[in-house]
Structure 1
Amino acid sequence: MTTRAPRRLPSKDIKASIRQRIADGGWQPGMKLPSERELVQQFGCARMTVHHALRELEDEGLIERRQGSGSYVARLHPISNVLRVRDIHEEIAERGHLHVTRVLSVAREKAGAEVAAAMRLRKGSTVFHVRLVHLENGVAIQLEDRHVNPALAPGFMARDFTQVTPSHVLFEHAPLTEAEQVVEAVLADAEQARALEVPAGSALLRVSRRTVSQGAVASVARLYHPGTRYRLIGHFSV
């Protein structure tokens, strides 16, 4: 009778498994990961394979390895200033991390009653509608659902949103003169959960933002963030 050798996972599968645990919120930012010895037992692989996977995750900015202490989930929380409207690409780049945009849909459509009212347009007016997922070091941190006024950004639909963000395009064509936003906690529906790679019913932070340029509404956006991966910070001085 022969004894079957234990299954050996390649480092890319170990990386994927650890990445998914972080994305699902099972391993929170700042949390210490199991030791290399424990991961070897968990995955049934060589210690060098685990070491290689952790080193690559560290290079990608998803974990931090501390000499003599172990590995920890990196703090990937995007930090937005409540009193400023910023391009998410700039925020991520400032942290030295990689920003990637996944385009879900880009469409020209007729504004429904709710969108038309928010944008101060007639119901049925043509608006641009984009839905995007922003990732930081491969982890989904924001679902952007935005309607744009074509009169203020006529070339909007021609842009490649994997290369430039809607915010950047709007800053170019419709300089911000006024903004208002509401921040609230919501639960992820099935579609939002799928886009953000979190379980349905997870807590999300929703930022509803309307931007105005020279008296005209430029865009209305609903920005959804996994509650475990985002925080808002505001600052003001007298």
Structure 2
Amino acid sequence: MPAEPLYIQIKQYIEDKIDQGHWGIGERISTEMELTEQFDVSRMTVNKAIRDLVGEGKLERRPRLGTFVTRPVEKAQSPLLDTRNIANEVASRGKQYSSEVLRHEATQADQHIATKLGVMLGSSVYYSEILHKENELPIQLECRWVNAKYAPHYHQQDFTKTTPNEYLTANCPMTQSSILLRQSPVAINSAHCWK
């Protein structure tokens, strides 16, 4: 079994240090350069780990001062977790939904996709491009990369009968750290809308 990507290991190290009280709320953590030397990795790898923790609200960057531990904030469920199924949105407007599958394939993660999904280079991933329509007019082009580990049957789905959102919501873990419309371990998605 392959080891976790280096940036995830560094992220876990930082989280462990925070949990153990080594870095308290409001305290500055080690600099990127210090972590780069400590783990013998590129600065880009350390930067990715810190960016993820900033995105999760565990750290904050202060220009020219460093990166600091933030106070945990109790949040109501994020509206991003309430991702909406476009077929339902179209139906709610009293219109007819349809889709056209432009690409739907199994492949291997290149460097960019591996970094985005937090998987090893060459890992199994799926890619789909689906043109969503309302009354036969295109309204959205959805391009989605999916981590095969979390959705092993994604590439076998008929996305003219269901949407990727509907399938992934029913079959994959949906947590704060796996938001489908943002960078996540499950899927990364981009949608280009018209109207």
Instruction: Specify the TM-score bucket, using the shorter chain as the normaliser.
Output: 0.5 to 0.7
After superposition, give the CA deviation of every residue in 1:138-164 in whole Å (9 maximum; x if it has no partner).
110100100111111111111110000
Q: Which one-letter code corresponds to 1:209 in the other structure?
A: L
Name the SS for the 1:169 alignment partner.
Answer: helix
Give the distance between the partners of 1:117 and 1:90, measured in 2 at CA.
32
Partner of 1:104: 102
Structure 1 residues 131, 169: CA separation in 2 closer, same or farther (over 3 Å shift)?
same
Partner residue in 2 for 1:219 = 187
| More strand, by proportion | 1
Give the share of equivalent positions with the same residue, in percent.
30
Give the superposition deviation at 1:116: 0.8
Contact kept in structure 1, 2:97 and 2:134, CA below 8 Å: yes
Give the alignment of 1:172-211 within 5 angstroms.
172-178=170-176, 209-210=181-182
CA shift for structure 1 position 84: 3.1
- Mapping for residues 52-63 of structure 1, pairs under 5 Å: none
TM-score by length of 1: 0.46
Deviations 1:93-150 (A, max 9, x none): 1111111010101111111111111100011111000011000111101001001111
Partner of 1:152: 150
Distance 1:224 1:128 in 2: 19
Pick the structure with greater CA Rg.
Answer: 1
The one-letter code of the counterpart of 1:106 is H
Mapped to 2, the partners of 1:179 and 1:138 lie a distance apart of: 35
Deviations 1:193-216 (A, max 9, x none): xxxxxxxxxxxxxxx93264xxxx
8 Å CA contact 1:179–1:209 kept in 2: the answer is: no
Q: How does 1:74-93 map to 2 (within 5 A)?
A: 84-93=82-91
Distance 2:89 2:177 in 1: 19
* Separation of aligned partners in 2, 1:179 and 1:99: 30
* SS at 1:144 equivalent: strand
Moved more, 172-181 or 114-123: 172-181
Equivalent in the alignment of 1:197 = none
Give the Cα–Cα distance (whole angstroms) in 2 for the partners of residues 91 and 179 of structure 1.
25
Gaps of 5+ in 1: 1-80, 182-207, 230-238
Q: How large is the Cα RMSD of the aligned pairs?
A: 2.1
* Aligned residue number for residue 161 of structure 1: 159
Deviation at 1:180, TM superposition (A): 8.1
- CA distance in structure 2 between the partners assigned to 1:145 and 1:178 by the alignment: 22
Cα distance between partner residues in 1 of 2:183 and 2:113: 13
* Secondary structure of 2:127's aligned partner: strand
Change (3 A) 1:85 1:179: farther
Q: Aligned AA for 1:221?
A: N
Q: When the two structures are aligned, how many residues end up with a matched partner?
A: 117
